[in-house]
Amino acid sequence: MFTFFGALFILLLGYLFYSKFVEKVFVVNDNTPTPAYAKRDNLDFVPMSWWKGNLIQLLNIAGLGPIYGAVAGALYGPVAFIWIVVGSIFAGAVHDYFSGMMSLRHNGAQFPSLVGKYLGKHVKTFINLLSLVLMILVAAAFTAGPAQLIAQITPLSFTLALLIIFGYFILATILPINRVIGKIYPILGAILLIMAISVAVALIISGKSMPNLTIANLHPGDLPVWPLLMVTISCGAISGFHCTQSPIIARTMKKETDGRKIFYGAMIIEGVIALIWAAAGMTFFNGTDGLQAALVAGGPSGVVNEISTSLLGITGGILAVFGVIILPITTGDTALRSSRMILSDILAKFFNMDSKVKILLVTIPVSIPALFLATIDYTFLWRYVGWTNQVVASIMLWTGAMYLLKSHKFHWICGVPALFMSAVVCTYIFYAPEGLGLSYQLSIAIGFSLTVIVAFWYVYQIKKFRSEKHIKYKDKVA
């Protein structure tokens, strides 16, 4: 239990101190009009209070991610606590802050547009496609589970439940953000946090012994921590999906100083939620062996349901049903909203999104493949969501690093986690079953070699921008 409370305390310190350092590096200015006012259209650009923005951001980026991912990550043992804490403070929250604040500084630009500006048009083309694929996969993966549960507890068939959910998706995607998302989602975000806190309190009161981090139990089992843990626990540490959601809230911010509370703060809260569910997974089933058996028997939704109902009774059962149905749906609809916004940016050169009919026409092309994919095996989808998600995270961090380099600021706060995540994705794709399935040693060697190449590119960029700064200084002096 000491490890659990220590991890919570470090997350709090990360928000209190490191977030302020990150904000200082970025340099905020409340005198600059935000896109919510400068481009107000009462659809996507609408001013909202910071606390609403924080709770909506939390719900958008979280859903079931920090619950399912943390429960699966608990199989790696207490080492998961280290990744959640370090990942959240130095990678995930930095990633979310820069994706939101850079969008704010670029008139509410979507993630691919930021990539194009700082990493080049070829990378932008790739990331446009990858982002749309990720949004479609997320919408599909976070819809299949709720539809299956609705079919089990109501007279509705799976297909009908799926159609109803996607009907809501389309409606929520084309409505102004302050109509549904702005009014209901702050409440749902608060419930997500209350659900996690209730489980934590009940777990502590239950008297079950939480595992502490020691050399002996650092990592039980045979699964290699590197790089599998970093992909298994993405939401709750660092997730590329977040940078597709941050522009939604960036378009609603009233002032720049709200960014630390909204973006960095929401990621730290998500880290707390992940920490609680990872601890619950390790503790409730008396170790990783018991958790593994529970996952095989009932999957992640079964594990969440058993923990919730056993610890919280009827209230827990209601929260579990809420979590498995409502939370993924709210993630799915904002995923489609993001894909609609990305596609709108791509098509903006051809026609303006000046009517709901045009907005609907842009929404349908991303809804249809998501609807189709929702009918196939959930676990198959989730495997591909994981790696795609972390590739996007790596690219967003590199975008932040190039932005800071170009601005002659302390780029290492983005560059170091970007290099780390590059090593993760380069190694994972060669080793994982959904990748090339090579041997672990060979995958490590290839991943390390590719990371070295990326590191050389980074050093080259540093030298180039330093040289440009030196030339500008000499010209100014002359």
Q: So what's the pLDDT on residue 227?
A: 92
Distance CA 235, CA 129 (A): 22
| Rounded average pLDDT over 22-36 | 95
Distance CA 203, CA 210 (A): 9
Q: How confident is the model at residue 477 (pLDDT cuts 50, 70, 90)?
A: very low
Domain ranges of the chain: 2-380
Q: How confident is the model at residue 448 (pLDDT cuts 50, 70, 90)?
A: very high
Determine the Cα angle at 162 with ends 158 and 166, to 5°. 175
Q: How far apart are the first and last CA of the chain?
A: 63
SS3 433: coil
Q: Cβ–Cβ contacts within 10 Å for residue 257, how many?
A: 13
Per the listing, tokens 């990783």 go with: 288
Reply yes or no on whether the pLDDT at 138 is more than 60.
yes
How many angstroms separate the most distant Cα atoms in the chain? Answer: 80
Whether 162 and 143 have beta carbons less than 8 Å apart is answered as: yes
From residue 140, give the alpha-carbon distance in Å to each of 9, 226, 325, 336, 392.
36, 28, 13, 10, 18
Reply yes or no on whether the pLDDT at 260 is more than 70.
yes
Q: So what's the pLDDT on residue 445?
A: 97
Q: How confident is the model at residue 470 (pLDDT cuts 50, 70, 90)?
A: low
Per the listing, tokens 């009908």 go with: 160
| Rounded average pLDDT over 296-302 | 80
SS3 31: coil
Q: Which of 277, 128, 72 is nearest to 195 (CA)?
A: 277
Q: Which of 278, 296, 244, 301 is nearest to 95 (CA)?
A: 244
Distance CA 298, CA 308 (A): 14
Cis amide prior to 211 (ω within 30 degrees): no
Cis amide prior to 227 (ω within 30 degrees): yes
Distance CA 356, CA 130 (A): 26
What confidence tens digit (pLDDT) does each residue in 312-339 have? 888 777 776 676 677 778 778 778 878 8
Of 365 and 162, more confident = 162
Q: Token pair for residue 180?
A: 């549904």
Q: Which of 352, 212, 211 is nearest to 290 (CA)?
A: 211
Domain 2-380 has CATH 3.40.190.80: no
* Residues in CB range of 412: below 8 A, 6 or more apart: none
Rg (CA), the chain: 22
What confidence tens digit (pLDDT) does each residue in 387-424 have? 888 999 999 999 999 999 999 999 999 999 999 999 99
Q: So what's the pLDDT on residue 380?
A: 64
